Chains A and B, each alone.
Chain A
Amino acid sequence: MAGGATFWRRAADLYIDGFRNMTVGRRLWALIIVKLIIFFAVLKLFFFPDILATRYDTDAERADAVREALTAPHDNSNTNTLYYE
């Protein structure tokens, strides 16, 4: 038990000391945080909704929507010549 606690303490120290002693890393972390804010709080939230997840409640409705989209615009006037004789 004591050995386990020591391990976790050492692991925590690794991260704490590492972040504290960073030089180039501080600027990089700022860059990463700004980037993630732009990606998730701006782009994902306002510009990139999951179309099927937001417009339909169930998987069955989503499947119907995709079926409709993949079969409706297609001109079906020229089938049944190869395999349906």
Chain B
Amino acid sequence: MNDLIGLVDWSRAQFALTAMYHWLFVPLTIGLSVIVAIMETIYVRTGNPRWKGITKFWMTLFGINFACGVATGLILEFEFGTNWSNYSWFVGDIFGAPLAIEGLLAFFMEATFVAVMFFGWNKVSRGFHLASTWLTALGVSLSALWILVANAWMQYPTGMEFDPAQMRNVMTDFFAVALSPVAINKFFHAVFSAWTLAGVFVIGVSSWLLWRRRNIAAAKSSMTIGSIVGLAGILLTLWTGHGSAVQVARVQPMKLAAMEGLYHGSVGQDLVGFGILKPESSRTAEEPMLFSVDIPYGLSYLIYGNGDNFVPGINDLIDGISINAAGDTIHGLSYADKILIGKQAQDALRRYADARNAGDEAAMAAAAADVKEHFPYFGYGYLPSPEAAVPNVSMTFYAFRIMVIAGGYLLALFVVLIFLCRRKPEVLEHPWLCWVGMLSIVIVWVCSQAGWVLAEVGRQPWVIQDLMPTTAAISGVPAGSVKLTFWIFAAVFTGLLIAEISIMLRYIATASKGDIETPKH
């Protein structure tokens, strides 16, 4: 058992490490492609060559990040086949179809138009070049769409049917998978957060230029674009984040309860604006918080648009309790019930295999019908107890607050900078403000990573919601080999990150010694 826990933990740690490193590069690629496209649009519309120079400066930084980040996502697919083979088989073509579309459509779209974008200056018309830059931005976002559709399916499996003969899920409705509300919210939330991140990146680099008193006019123009895109990004991120929270309440209520550190829910549930959880050893369901600043009725109102609705807590969900509009307590399926149903689904699957080996068609059909009936709670059959369905509450709770607090800071930063860019641009050169801009780069990346920690830790123990826990998804490979590759990845990705940062810094330092606004070609 300890070996299994070690294997699961190391496999999860390895996946988290590679996914988080991958996500260092991806949002900057998505967001910066849009910012570069906007800058080039200004150049084409105004014909002012200084915008061509500014566009090329940021386009080179986009290129450095694109090159460092390209193929880092492939590692995740290696891990699926080696460490998560049960999962890879079980998801069947649900995962394969979106990822194949990503490869065929978005990758080739990017590869074609990225070449025109970088090599096509003076080779193609201005209009065609601009179209290529926008199509690169579109292609980059479409890449994100398909991987996020696949991720959303894991959080809200839909549009499929489990086939006990193949032991895998078969897609029955492509549009239900691709257009599920979880996928749509997740996609736009990720893309708009990438705009926010890239906006801060542009602000941070521009702040460095201002601090070093280099290319001040270009830095201020860039900062204006970065702040506007960042503000649009953070406002849209807030909006889609709210949509995501509503979907979480609907399809992953345990994650929502963990986000709030909520053990016993109530009608008119408060929202924890800020708080500190008690250590797990001294935490009780009645008094989980050391202290908290609550917003009355906030959670009920945010989720349901009505302060009178009931929001279940962790213990309510485990016990299957809810309260209806009339105030009556409703007893639904408890997690103990769901564990029994899951065990029945697994038992039916065993009977299906036995019947097939015996060549008993009638028994196979009966067993397949039982599997289908009990399949919605299939994964619960692996849980040793109802409490095993509770994610790490502390990590989920704090990741959510780090994301929201950092997001609030960034919103304020963008508003202030837009005001200063328009009304008091000379203030932008103050060293302390330059440092605020530069340090904000760290904050936005922490914010972005916290969002994924929330999404992925909050859905534990499920790798596929309700259908497969991580303990069942794992391959029977030695934990030692996973540990070894964990450290190899840590070294390789850290090297890549150092390479990216050093190449970027060297380019910024070198290019900014000259006149950014005067393009060489």
Contact = CB atoms under 8 A, between A and B. Distances in A.
B344 A43 contact: no
Given A35-B492, A67-B167, 17 more contacts: A14-B123, A18-B118, A24-B507, A32-B67, A38-B492, A49-B81, A49-B82, A51-B477, A63-B89, A63-B166, A63-B168, A66-B89, A69-B86, A76-B346, A76-B350, A78-B343, A79-B344
A39 B71 contact: yes
A50 interface: yes
Contact of A39 (B75, B82, B503): B75
Contacts of A82: 337, 340-341, 344
B71 A67 contact: no
By Cβ-Cβ distance, the 5 closest A-B pairs, closest first, are A18-B119, A50-B81, A48-B78, A28-B67, A63-B167
Contacts of B115: 14-15, 18
B476 interface: yes
Interface in B438-495: 472, 475-477, 481, 484-485, 488, 492
A47 interface: yes
23 contacts: A28-B63, A28-B67, A31-B68, A32-B67, A36-B71, A39-B71, A43-B488, A47-B484, A48-B82, A49-B82, A51-B85, A51-B476, A63-B89, A66-B167, A67-B349, A69-B86, A70-B167, A71-B350, A71-B353, A76-B343, A76-B346, A81-B340, A83-B344
A51 B475 contact: yes
Interface string B50-81: 00000000001001100110110011001101
Interface residues of A, number: 45
Nearest to B504: A24
B346 A70 contact: yes
Contact of A43 (B68, B347, B485): B485
B89 A83 contact: no
Contacts of A8: none
Judged by DSSP, the binding face of B is: helix
Interface string B333-361: 00001001101101101100100000000
Interface size class, chain B: 35 or more
Contact of B90 (A15, A27, A66, A79): A66
A67 B350 CA distance: 8
Nearest to B468: A70
Interface of B: 60, 63-64, 67-68, 70-71, 74-75, 78-79, 81-82, 85-86, 88-90, 115-116, 118-120, 123-124, 165-168, 337, 340-341, 343-344, 346-347, 349-350, 353, 373-374, 381-382, 472, 475-477, 481, 484-485, 488, 492, 496, 499, 503, 507
Contacts of A74: 343, 346, 381-382
Contacts of B68: 28, 31
A31 B499 contact: yes
A24 B503 contact: yes
A24 B78 contact: no
Contacts of A81: 340
A15 B119 contact: yes
Interface in A1-45: 10, 13-15, 17-19, 24-25, 27-29, 31-32, 35-36, 38-39, 43-44
B485 A24 contact: no
A50 B374 CA distance: 30
Nearest to A48: B78
A53 B374 CA distance: 30
B476 A69 contact: yes
B503 A28 contact: yes
Contacts of A32: 67, 70-71
Contacts of A84: 344
A62 B89 contact: yes
Nearest to B338: A82
Contact of B74 (A31, A39, A50, A71): A39
Contacts of A17: 119, 123
A47 B476 CA distance: 14
Given A14-B119, A82-B340, A66 B82 contact: no
Contact of B86 (A64, A66, A79): A66
Contacts of B374: 83
